[in-house]
Amino acid sequence: MTPSKRKFIFSASVWLYSGKSSWYFITVPRKISQTIYKQYSSNAKAWGTVGVLATIRKTTWTTSLFPDKKSQCYFLPLKLQIRKKEKILAGEEIKIKIEMS
């Protein structure tokens, strides 16, 4: 049985990955991450990613959430194109809507 589509709306701060690349992420709150894991991990793709439709302000795009074992949360990557379009900066708290695909 495939779970029905589900939306999650939350606010979180944008952070910059401290590794070699300059990827920006938003951490999905733990409670929402646990719900997503329980209901959608059976549909996971490579590396345990879960497909979503993300919306920030006026921009909606298809992407994947990445699981993080250490925090037990999912991370939402923010591409440069999205950050530029919506003028998103590291440290900024923003409202996000994700819809499970």
Residue 1 has pLDDT above 50, yes or no: no
pLDDT tens-digit map of 35-71 = 999 988 777 777 889 999 999 999 999 999 999 999 9
| Domain regions of the chain by residue span | 7-100
User: Burial level of 55, CB count in 10 A (0-12/13-18/19+)?
Assistant: middle
Q: Whole-prediction pTM value?
A: 0.87
In this predicted structure, what is the pLDDT of residue 3? Answer: 45
Output the six-digit token pair for 4. Answer: 């029905």
CATH class of the domain at 7-100: mainly beta
| Dist CA 90 CA 50 (whole Å) | 24
